[in-house]
């Protein structure tokens, strides 16, 4: 991976971590891009497994499979954006419905 691509990925992980922190979650990016025993791109107090992708060409099925393979007992989520775009999250619909149901209790 080129140095510029690596820097773009790190910047994306920091952006997503900042969004979660703005909403009260204690999290940060995983150092060494998952080279440690920690899987995913963010760690801390998140109740989900987050993969962060900041790429112009969207490969959601591939990214979701990666998140599902690494999530363990957590719900896999892919946070993604294209250049100059908004951040979005991809999650299996039934898992989103289960998360939202917790707000109705």
pLDDT confidence of 104, banded at 50, 70, 90?
A: confident
In the chain, domain spans: 3-104
When comparing pLDDT for 16 and 37, which is higher? 16
Over residues 29-55, the pLDDT tens digits come to 988 765 667 778 998 889 899 999 999
Average pLDDT over residues 12-34: 90
Residue entry with tokens 């998360």:
99
> Residues with Cβ < 8 Å from 93, sequence gap 6 or more?
none
pLDDT attached to residue 34: 58
The CATH number that domain 3-104 falls under is 3.40.1350.10
Over residues 74-100, the pLDDT tens digits come to 999 999 999 999 999 999 999 999 988
CB-side neighbour CA atoms (13 Å) of 40: 27
- Beta-carbon neighbour count of residue 98 at 10 Å? 11
């Amino acid at each position: 991976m080129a140095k510029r691509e690596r820097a773009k990925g790190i910047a994306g992980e920091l952006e997503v971590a900042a969004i979660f922190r703005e909403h009260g979650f204690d999290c940060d990016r995983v150092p060494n891009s998952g080279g440690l025993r920690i899987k995913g791109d963010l760690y801390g107090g998140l109740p989900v497994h987050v993969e962060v992708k900041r790429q112009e060409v969207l490969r959601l099925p591939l990214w979701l499979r990666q998140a599902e393979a690494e999530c363990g007992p957590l719900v896999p989520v892919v946070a993604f954006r294209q250049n100059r775009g908004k951040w979005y999250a991809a999650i299996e619909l039934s898992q989103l419905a289960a998360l939202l149901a917790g707000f109705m209790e």
